[in-house]
Amino acid sequence: MSIIVQKYGGTSIGTIDKISKVADKVISEKNNGNSLVVVVSAMSGETNRLLNLAKSINPDISGRELDTLISTGEQVTISLLAMTLAKKGHKAISLTGSQAGIFTDDIFNKARIDYINNLPIKKYLDLGNIVVVAGFQGITKAGDITTLGRGGSDTSAVAISVALDAKECQIFTDVNGVYTTDPRISPGAKKIDQITTEEMLELSSQGSKVLQPRAVEFAGKYDVGIRVLSTFEEGTGTIIKKENDDKMEKAIISGIAFNKDEAQLNIRGVPDQPGIASLILGPIADLNIDVDMIVQNVGEDGLANFTFTVPRNDYKVAMQSLKESSKKLQAKKVKGNNEIVKISMVGVGMRTHAGIASKMFSVLAENNINISMISTSEIKISIVTNEDNLETAVNVLHKEFNLDK
Ligand code: ASP
Ligand code: MG
């Protein structure tokens, strides 16, 4: 029997009625002769509700207690789904992250999975159960509950697929696949049938919310196929795997992602000397804040300017740290902007096509969109601009690069 891992997100299991429909889908896949492991998120809105409760006590709350709290949403849905499956006549058992042997490091609120002891899940599968596992959570060696960062159930599902050598990891959600861009911003957005892990990783890291980036990273590393599907409509969804089948006609650009969750920080007039970058960014890294784009330009008289972006949530803390560094370095000025958006075009076809960046910049210029930062990789070009420009920028790029065709 092959093992299929299915993951259902919060909107798919937001009510008892919806849980019953999910149970039917699980049962029908089981009736195809597969062993089923089902990973679930919390009911839609639940994780936010719990977060807000905690924030009403302390707006800057983070750490161990927060994970103990926000991991409970998934404990509700695993048991409700297992009960529903049982009522429909199928043997099922729910497992929390710790019961399922999901071990993580101890970086609370954004823990990484170290390893999965697959024996508990295997044992219950062998006994004929449908095994329902709580996504988003794990346990440290010391026995503390951790969570994997927002959207972390995707990563749980992929990691479990790897640990069980599953045939496929099916991610069920409220959209029927991965789109060329967000249809709410660009009505011409089209569903993509197949995309490489590499491209998907860029799209999700750059703001496409369909999958947690770490899930895609994991899938690429261990070569697991992911399929993104709708819970509510029939369809074949989007397949994400290492290599595209049709090597024939590769799109130059596969998709456009955007991210409003970043903020920009800028420090001016620091000495242009070896070691400056690490003096500025070191303290930020020590705070466990991920720095994304970095630009350094040399100004006049041996002074340099430094601009970088951080998650918007970490803006205040990063700004504080930058102000302290600024005193030590006798910088001229520190500035910030937390109303920015990063827009990224992604496609493996960029490797073999020149001039994509200049075309992108000229389209934006024609539409009066000012770019404040640029970064490129082999298969991606990102720009930062003011948040107000989001819709126009995405729409003109989507059209210019024929993504609506
Ligand atoms: N419930 C968690 C969240 O809302 C994890 C997930 O949905 O994947 O972020
Ligand atoms: Mg999600």
Mean pLDDT rounded to a whole number for the chain: 94
Q: What is the pLDDT of residues 188-210, one digit of tens each?
A: 999 999 999 999 999 998 888 89
Q: What is the mean pLDDT of residues 322-347?
A: 95
Return the best residue to mutate from 6, 13, 38, 47 for the ligand 1 pocket (most ligand atoms within 8 A of CB).
Answer: 47
**What are the structural domains of the chain?**
3-174 (3.40.1160.10)
Report whether 34 contacts 48 (CB < 8 A).
Answer: no
For residue 176, give Cα distances in angstroms to 172, 183, 213, 239, 382. Answer: 8, 12, 19, 11, 26
SS3 243: coil
Q: Give the Å distance between the CA of 357 and the centre of ligand 2.
A: 31
- Token pair for 342: 């990063």
What CA dihedral angle connects 224, 193, 173 and 30, to 10 degrees? -60
Report whether 259 contacts 342 (CB < 8 A).
Answer: yes
Q: Give the Å distance between the CA of 81 and the centre of ligand 2.
A: 18
DSSP state of 389: G
Nearest CA to ligand 1 atom 4: 47
**Exposure of 41 by Cβ count < 10 A (0-12 exposed, 13-18 middle, 19+ buried)?**
buried
> Of all residues in the chain, what percent carry a pLDDT higher than 70?
98
Counting from 1 in the atom list of ligand 1, the atom nearest the Cα of 73 is 1
Q: Give the Å distance between the CA of 108 and the centre of ligand 1.
A: 15
How many residues make up the chain in this entry? 405
Q: Give the Å distance between the CA of 76 and the centre of ligand 1.
A: 13
**Exposure of 172 by Cβ count < 10 A (0-12 exposed, 13-18 middle, 19+ buried)?**
buried
Counting from 1 in the atom list of ligand 1, the atom nearest the Cα of 149 is 9
> Of all residues in the chain, what percent carry a pLDDT higher than 90?
89
Ligand nearest to the CA of 13: 1
The set of residues, in sequence order, having a beta carbon less than 8 Å from that of 310 and lying 6+ positions away, is: 262, 263, 265, 284, 289, 290, 291, 292, 318
Nearest CA to ligand 1 atom 6: 151
C-alpha span between 203 and 105 (Å, rounded):
26
Return the best residue to mutate from 38, 43, 150, 204 for the ligand 1 pocket (most ligand atoms within 8 A of CB).
Answer: 150
| Angle made by CA atoms 243, 357, 381, in degrees to the nearest 5 | 55
Q: What is the pLDDT of residues 341-399, one digit of tens each?
A: 999 999 998 888 889 999 999 999 999 999 999 999 999 999 999 999 999 999 999 99
Kindly tell me if the per-residue pLDDT of 227 is higher than 50: yes
Residues lining ligand 1, CB < 6 A? Answer: 9-10, 41-42, 47, 73, 135-136, 150-154
Return the best residue to mutate from 153, 158, 210, 231 for the ligand 1 pocket (most ligand atoms within 8 A of CB).
Answer: 153
Report whether 333 contacts 268 (CB < 8 A).
Answer: yes
pLDDT score, position 248: 44
Higher pLDDT, 288 or 74: 74
C-alpha span between 81 and 95 (Å, rounded):
11
Kindly tell me if the per-residue pLDDT of 284 is higher than 90: yes
Return the best residue to mutate from 41, 46, 137, 173 for the ligand 1 pocket (most ligand atoms within 8 A of CB).
Answer: 41
Q: Is the dihedral of CA 277, 278, 283, 286 positive or negative?
A: positive
SS3 content of the chain, % helix, strand, coil (to 5): 40, 25, 35
Q: What is the pLDDT of residues 229-252, one digit of tens each?
A: 999 999 999 999 987 665 545 678
Report whether 35 contacts 2 (CB < 8 A).
Answer: yes
Q: What is the mean pLDDT of residues 211-240?
A: 94
**What does pTM read for this prediction?**
0.86
Of 265, 263, 275, nearest to 328 (Cα)? 275
Q: Give the Å distance between the CA of 47 and the centre of ligand 1.
A: 6
